[in-house]
């Protein structure tokens, strides 16, 4: 999925056309159409179980659609060599760090497994990327010693090593306290500004979505019900969107 040659990052576009996917007879994605422009932060928002993470897995090629297609810079990801041509990274909801490796080995895994650099260069790059996410000096720690927020930041550092043109974030602020969530949100925005990477963020965190997104799509029961700038989404009269945006703990 990633080109072995490291280059400066420049965002790619993502187009999803008529994407359908069923699991055990239940249709989870019911013909999704959307476009993510190069270099933008696009947040896919919706309630739990609406198909957000499944869509993300299709974009990076971990799942195969029943129908429809996904295009990266206009080329189908199913075509030969397309996934190798573009550098993409997925930051998993849990971080998905390899527990048998140290933080440093996790971050440098892509480089070491593809023999792209010498061990000294890998150590330098790892230290550099960990510094970017504010975790310098944690190379020798085990993932088990890190908090949820730190794991997510390490996962972002691991994604940065690839120098991606597209970063996919799966629920980056779930299970985090509000301060850590803001830190992660800032990381996503800063990376986008600094390296121009296209960011596709899946989240049900309203604050994150309206805080970092250039555009937002709302997905509900496998369908996209609205796409637009954050202000346009806020102004939407769609009952599901209003319900989602205005839900609170007022039980009276």
Which residues of this protein are in contact with other proteins, per CB under 8 A?
A: 1-2, 57, 60-62, 84, 88-90, 92, 94, 96-100, 109-110, 113-115, 158, 162
Which residue, 60 or 224, is less far from other proteins as judged by CB?
60
Residues 51-68: b if buried by 16+ CB within 10 A, e if exposed? bbbbbbbbbbbebebeeb
Closest CB 225 distance from other proteins, rounded Å: 28
- Residue 91, exposed/middle/buried by CB under 10 A (0-12, 13-18, 19+)? buried
- Sign of the Cα torsion 45, 69, 49, 144 reads negative
**Are 8 and 165 in contact, with CB atoms under 8 Å apart?**
no
Whole-angstrom Cα distance, residue 198 to residue 193?
Answer: 10
Closest CB 181 distance from other proteins, rounded Å: 21
Which residue, 61 or 211, is less far from other proteins as judged by CB?
61
Which residue, 45 or 90, is less far from other proteins as judged by CB?
90
**Using the 8-state DSSP alphabet, how is residue 143 labeled?**
G
**Are 208 and 49 in contact, with CB atoms under 8 Å apart?**
no
Closest CB 222 distance from other proteins, rounded Å: 21
Which residue, 84 or 190, is less far from other proteins as judged by CB?
84
Residue with tokens 């297609």: 69
Closest CB 52 distance from other proteins, rounded Å: 15
Closest CB 145 distance from other proteins, rounded Å: 16
Which residue, 94 or 118, is less far from other proteins as judged by CB?
94
């Amino acid at each position: 999925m990633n080109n072995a040659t490291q280059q400066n990052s420049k965002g790619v576009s993502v187009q999803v056309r008529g994407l359908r996917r069923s699991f055990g007879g239940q249709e989870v994605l019911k013909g999704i159409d959307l476009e993510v422009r190069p270099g933008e932060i696009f947040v896919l928002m919706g309630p739990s179980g609406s198909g957000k993470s499944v869509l993300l897995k299709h974009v990076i090629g971990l799942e195969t659609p029943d129908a429809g297609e996904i295009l990266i810079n206009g080329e189908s990801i199913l075509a030969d060599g397309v996934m190798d041509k573009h550098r993409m990274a997925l930051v998993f909801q849990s971080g998905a760090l390899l527990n048998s490796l140290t933080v440093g080995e996790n971050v440098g895994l892509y480089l070491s497994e593809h023999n792209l650099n010498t061990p000294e260069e890998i150590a330098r790059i790892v230290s550099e990327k960990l510094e970017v996410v504010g975790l310098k000096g944690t190379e020798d720690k085990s993932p088990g010693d890190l908090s949820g927020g730190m794991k997510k930041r390490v996962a972002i550092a691991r994604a940065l090593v690839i120098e991606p043109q597209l970063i996919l974030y799966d629920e980056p602020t779930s299970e985090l306290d509000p301060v850590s969530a803001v830190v992660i949100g800032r990381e996503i925005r800063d990376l986008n500004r600094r390296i121009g990477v296209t960011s596709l963020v899946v989240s049900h965190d309203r604050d994150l979505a309206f805080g970092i997104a250039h555009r937002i799509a709302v997905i509900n029961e496998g369908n996209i019900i609205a796409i637009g700038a954050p202000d346009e989404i806020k102004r939407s009269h769609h009952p599901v969107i209003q319900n989602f945006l205005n839900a609170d703990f007022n039980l009276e």
